[in-house]
Amino acid sequence: MISDLTYQEYLKQKEEEWEALCVRCGACCGAYQDPCKHLEKASNGLYFCSIYSERFGERESLSGKKFQCVHISKILSSNWFGDRFCSYKLNIKMPWLKSIK
């Protein structure tokens, strides 16, 4: 049971490390083109998703375009406007840079 808990903690730690890589540029959610209706900008200028824990599935942009919101790992091989800011993409190209923050 203890080893299960340790493994769960390990997974949680890895997920937090993964989440921490994001620089909240909002580009993958259309911030520089046609934003998702759930994309919000915080007072510090960084973006966040207003439904983050329930984000996956069909969503709609401000212009009314329907699209599927998926885990970022599923779209890293594709391109989107402003993806040069994406720290996950940079991390794939230059894994020695853990983050550009």
Point out which residues bind ligand SF4 (CB under 6 A): 22-29, 36, 38-39, 49, 51, 55, 59, 69, 72, 85-88
Q: For residue 41, what are the CA distances in angstroms to 6, 46, 47?
A: 36, 6, 4
Contact 59, 72 (CB under 8 A): no
Residue closer to ligand SF4 by CB (options 1, 59) is: 59
| Nearest distance, CB of residue 12 and ligand SF4, angstroms | 19
Pairwise CA distance, residues 88 & 91, whole Å: 5
Between 7 and 65, CB nearer to ligand SF4: 65
